[in-house]
């Protein structure tokens, strides 16, 4: 069932931070249509695919008119006439047209918008929902990893550690998982209010953005919230931490600086601190425990924390090549997958396949600058990533994805189950 790409219409849209991003519609010769608006990150790794921004005065330099023009120009020329159902060929043509390793000439934002819109159009050609169109084997509903307290680049650095999240490990269904986390979020607000903390501030991804005395206090707040919500730590609910260590790493002297605590640490000291947190609280996952190029520090972390999920985001940037290096060097045991880090759906899916073959866990993730699109939820189901990290249980660009998984669960009923990640080696 082939149907060649005929036209692309692109436009400058807004993400959840109010910054421009690229949206586009792909239309096939047979009339099938696919639409996508792509996200953008705040705490971006230096090895990520590169968005194309206009510079100048419009939107503080964040405009994307050049990327939009490239989508309707060179990139359309590259894919016109290609069968939209052959995602690999479409994506290869997009990357070859750009001709750079990071997609920066024509814009990784324009490339991904066409890649995702083409996948949507291909699903329309096949008359399938996106999750079914991209799936080719076992499908599960992802275990949600949900933001409750934010710092770092997501909350004006109120804390050094970027995100404290919860995982509803005891839930039997996705609907129960979301309900459990909603209870935790409400209870966290009550705990922050009782402590006199700033509980009304909302961070980029919908979590609370409080001013606390230390990074560890965020874990204490969550523990108190679990108790208030009558949940058993470790059985009903657990904690995931996104350290985002690259954001406070000094490449010049190799130290990590927590400004809120006026504390400098070497890699081993940071690992020791995270190990203490994991011993004292029900931590099942730590993301970006060390900086993106601190491979020695990551090896130390893997040796001392390998019993839990060690998740590489800036470390791997959804790059098949960097992931292969991590596997070969026995670094981390899980990969965060963000399609806009690498540029196309085909490359992101390749990273998922490499991880699964090596026994590494996968977590499909949104970005801090998100859109109302919900295609990421379909990918999590179809690619069987097992885990999904979107943000909190509020703000419509976040709930759009959670709501889509809830809809899929209702549609498929007993034919699909909630994934049960092991959160460690062998996941």
Map residue 155 onto helix, strand or coil: coil
Q: What is the DSSP string of 350-401?
A: HHHHHHHHHT-EEEEE--SB--S--HHHHHHHHTT-EEEE---S-SHHHHHH
Is 349 found in the same domain as 225? yes
Contact, 134 vs 115, CB < 8 A? Answer: no
Phi, psi for residue 46 in degrees, rounded to 5: -70, -15
Contact, 308 vs 285, CB < 8 A? Answer: yes
Is 213 found in the same domain as 170? yes
Average pLDDT over all residues of the chain: 94
The answer to the question of residue 226 being in a domain is yes
- Going from the C-alpha of 244 to that of each of 59, 165, 206, 261, 269, the distances in angstroms are 27, 13, 18, 16, 16
- What CATH number has the domain bearing residue 123? 3.30.390.10
Q: Note if 401 is an active site residue.
A: no
The answer to the question of residue 187 being in a domain is yes
Is 198 found in the same domain as 246? yes
Is 102 found in the same domain as 151? no
Q: Which of 127, 150, 178 is the last residue of a domain?
A: 127
The answer to the question of residue 421 being in a domain is no
Map residue 131 onto helix, strand or coil: helix
**Percentage of the chain lying above the pLDDT 90 cut:** 88
Q: Note if 205 is an active site residue.
A: yes
Identify the domain containing residue 225 by its residue range: 134-415
401 among annotated binding-site residues:
no
Is 217 found in the same domain as 77? no
Give tens-digit pLDDT for 359-390: 999 999 999 899 999 999 999 999 999 999 99
Is 331 found in the same domain as 246? yes
Count of domains forming the chain: 2
Is 111 found in the same domain as 25? yes
338 among annotated binding-site residues:
yes
The answer to the question of residue 166 being in a domain is yes
Q: In the predicted model, is pLDDT for residue 140 greater than 80?
A: yes
Q: In the predicted model, is pLDDT for residue 198 greater than 90?
A: no
The closest of 293, 300, 301 to 319, measured between CA atoms, is 293
Is 104 found in the same domain as 69? yes
The answer to the question of residue 66 being in a domain is yes
Contact, 310 vs 283, CB < 8 A? Answer: no
The answer to the question of residue 427 being in a domain is no
CA–CA dist 321, 359 (Å, integer):
17
Q: Which of 95, 127, 159 is the last residue of a domain?
A: 127
Is 205 found in the same domain as 319? yes
The closest of 320, 289, 318, 315 to 302, measured between CA atoms, is 289
Give tens-digit pLDDT for 279-302: 999 999 999 999 999 999 999 999
What helix, strand, coil percent values describe the chain, rounded to 5?
40, 20, 40
367 among annotated binding-site residues:
yes
The answer to the question of residue 426 being in a domain is no
Is 387 found in the same domain as 370? yes
Per the rule left: phi > 0, alpha: psi between -120 and 50, beta: everything else, 324 is: alpha
Is 105 found in the same domain as 28? yes
Chain Cα centroid distance, residue 350? 16
Among 51, 273, 292, 338, which one carries the catalytic annotation? 338
Among 51, 205, 292, 350, which one carries the catalytic annotation? 205
Token digits for 387? Answer: 């885990």
The answer to the question of residue 253 being in a domain is yes
Is 192 found in the same domain as 99? no
Predicted confidence at residue 388, as pLDDT, reads 98
Give tens-digit pLDDT for 107-116: 999 999 999 9
Q: What is the pTM of this model?
A: 0.95
């Amino acid at each position: 069932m082939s149907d060649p790409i005929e036209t692309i219409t692109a436009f400058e849209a807004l993400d959840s931070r109010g910054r421009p991003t690229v949206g586009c519609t792909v239309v096939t010769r047979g009339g099938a249509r696919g639409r996508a608006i792509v996200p953008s990150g705040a705490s971006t790794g230096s090895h990520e695919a590169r968005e194309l921004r206009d510079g100048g005065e419009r939107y503080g330099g964040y405009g994307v008119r050049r990327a939009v023009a490239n989508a309707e120009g060179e990139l359309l020329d590259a894919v016109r006439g290609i069968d939209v159902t052959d995602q690999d060929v479409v994506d290869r043509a997009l990357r070859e047209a750009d001709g750079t390793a990071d997609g920066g000439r024509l814009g990784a934002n324009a490339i991904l918008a066409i890649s995702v819109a083409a996948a949507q159009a291909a699903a329309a050609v096949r008359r399938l929902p996106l999750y079914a169109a991209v799936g080719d084997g076992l499908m599960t509903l992802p275990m949600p990893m949900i933001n409750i307290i934010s710092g770092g680049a997501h909350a004006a650095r109120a804390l050094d550690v970027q995100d404290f999240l919860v995982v509803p490990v005891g839930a039997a269904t996705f609907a129960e998982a979301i309900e459990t986390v909603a209870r935790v979020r409400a209870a966290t607000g009550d705990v922050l209010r009782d402590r006199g903390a700033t509980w009304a501030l909302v961070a980029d991804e919908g979590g609370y953005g409080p001013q606390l005395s230390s990074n560890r206090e965020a874990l204490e707040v969550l523990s108190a919230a679990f108790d208030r919500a009558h949940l058993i730590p470790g059985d009903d609910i657990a904690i995931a931490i996104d350290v985002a260590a690259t954001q406070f790493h000094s490449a010049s002297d190799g130290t990590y600086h927590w400004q809120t605590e006026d504390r400098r640490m070497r890699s081993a000291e940071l690992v020791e601190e995270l190990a203490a947190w994991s011993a004292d609280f029900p931590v099942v996952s730590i993301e970006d425990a060390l900086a993106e190029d601190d491979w020695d520090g990551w090896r130390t972390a893997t040796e001392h924390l390998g019993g839990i999920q060690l998740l590489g985001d800036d470390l791997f940037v959804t790059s098949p090549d960097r992931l292969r290096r991590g596997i070969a060097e026995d670094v981390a045991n899980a990969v965060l997958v963000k399609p806009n880090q690498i540029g196309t759906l085909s490359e992101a899916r390749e990273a998922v396949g490499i991880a699964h073959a090596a026994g590494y866990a996968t977590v499909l993730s949104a970005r801090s600058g998100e859109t109302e699109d919900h295609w990421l939820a379909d990918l999590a189901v179809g690619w069987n990533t097992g885990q999904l990290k979107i943000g909190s249980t509020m703000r419509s660009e976040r709930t759009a994805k959670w709501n889509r998984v809830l809809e899929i669960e209702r549609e498929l009923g007993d034919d699909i189950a909630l994934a049960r990640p092991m959160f460690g080696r062998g996941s």
